[in-house]
Structure 1
């Protein structure tokens, strides 16, 4: 492989705060690259990752990065005809399998939370007796924070990818906030039945599918025609979604490019603000 990945039909670039741009392979543009990278993607809906990160996932697959995708909702609200409402969950699962096959992603699963009803499944609570009515139970508990914390401790990722908090869909916003608090939980001693705490906090990134980022992204992925068509094919696998053709048309206008934003996930430290009140700062 060439230093910048062009022999495989793509180029990557990272923009630094001072305006400098570094180009090269994943190992060059991603901070703190590990010999064994493990990427965990939390997707509110089954088609979000292909739309916002299909190029990135395909490149990571080609580079041998271990990837896991977890789809939070069941897609039950995605039907476009009354007669298809009863079958849409099964149909979308079949479409997801086809989409991820195109991208080279083998490790994927659904939590099964009801589409557009995530507000009813925030946090963590004891599972109902026998698990009846709980979409995704782990260690006798359910709720999105339980699911995400267990996943983080099980997979122990080096990097976590979530959809941008700016996306209009409430499911996107709620998954975003629940993953972030779950990262806090996963690194602590709370809820030991979900596994041992993370020794290190993974880096966090945002992907955009429908709306602009809150702040400018710092990673760019540009693809050649073959790789771009692979992404398009992974999106077109969701044939049950009537808006897909319109979406693909918009992606083609934008060209074979994706952007990713490194999310500034950190914890409170009062020293961050001391300079604002020092004599020199005033």
Structure 2
């Protein structure tokens, strides 16, 4: 496992099962957070070592470049790609990170997604975030429970609960997305994958344009959450969209 950044008291922690998961959905939110002086970070559960294209090392280097473009630190837990479970060992490892980082808000993978790792990661993170607040749970660190959870869209997610105007950071957000060349760049010498097809990138842009049209802005990113919308998420939206 790689050394992790010394972080504490985060405003926002976005988690993904693999490197690039976060950048696909909420890179703009993280870039805005950095520009507004909020403490954000990315946590990848795995290095994506089972991916059809690229190697774990390549993806780690791409992930670091993407995080630098967004202006946030990145943490990698090195769980085994495709093989991590919801068992105690993984839950307590994640609980320890939540207690160490003390994030106010977590952004999770979608609970309904075509990739099994994303669905499993959502469940694992939700459980870990709850149990991390129990003082008698045998786990390292001082108990801590985030104030709110939100998640990104998956398969047919329905109307978003929150839309964030990310127009001011859109180019930087897409530069972070493009940093994952091993995954998203069409290359006839590499295996054909769904996410490497140019249509996938157009889909990311089209989705953000549609959500932007609902907010009457150029580009927006979407989040879903339990209702009523937690006050911490409403406050985050206000902070993100306040003048720089």
Kindly name which structure, 1 or 2, has the bigger radius of gyration based on alpha carbons: 1
Aligned residue for 1:223? 166
1:175-230: CA deviation from partner (whole Å, max 9, x where unpaired): 111111112211112344411212x542101112x5332x5322112333x62221
1:148 and 2:94 equivalent? yes
Distance 1:150 1:212 in 2: 33
Q: Shift of residue 252 of structure 1?
A: 2.5
1:40-77: CA deviation from partner (whole Å, max 9, x where unpaired): 22211110111110111111111111112210012112
Aligned residue for 1:28? none
Distance 1:91 1:37 in 2: 27
| Closer, same or farther: CA 68–253 of 1 in aligned 2, 3 Å | closer
Aligned residue for 1:258? 221
Aligned residue for 2:56? 89
1:2-27: CA deviation from partner (whole Å, max 9, x where unpaired): xxxxxxxxxxxxxxxxxxxxxxxxxx
Unpaired runs of at least 5, structure 2: 1-8, 185-194, 210-218, 229-244
1:181 and 2:130 equivalent? no
The TM-score with structure 1 as length reference comes to 0.65
Q: How does 1:13-162 map to 2 (within 5 A)?
A: 38-80=11-53, 88-105=55-72, 107-119=73-85, 122-124=86-88, 143-162=89-108
| Closer, same or farther: CA 196–238 of 1 in aligned 2, 3 Å | same
Distance 1:190 1:177 in 2: 21
1:170 and 2:136 equivalent? no
Quick check: 2:10–2:102 contact (8 Å CA) kept in 1? no
Aligned residue for 1:236? 178
Aligned residue for 1:207? 152
| Closer, same or farther: CA 193–260 of 1 in aligned 2, 3 Å | closer
| Closer, same or farther: CA 212–64 of 1 in aligned 2, 3 Å | farther
Higher strand share: 1
Q: Shift of residue 257 of structure 1?
A: 2.0
| Closer, same or farther: CA 236–264 of 1 in aligned 2, 3 Å | same
The CA RMSD over aligned residues, in Å, is 2.1
Q: Shift of residue 156 of structure 1?
A: 1.3
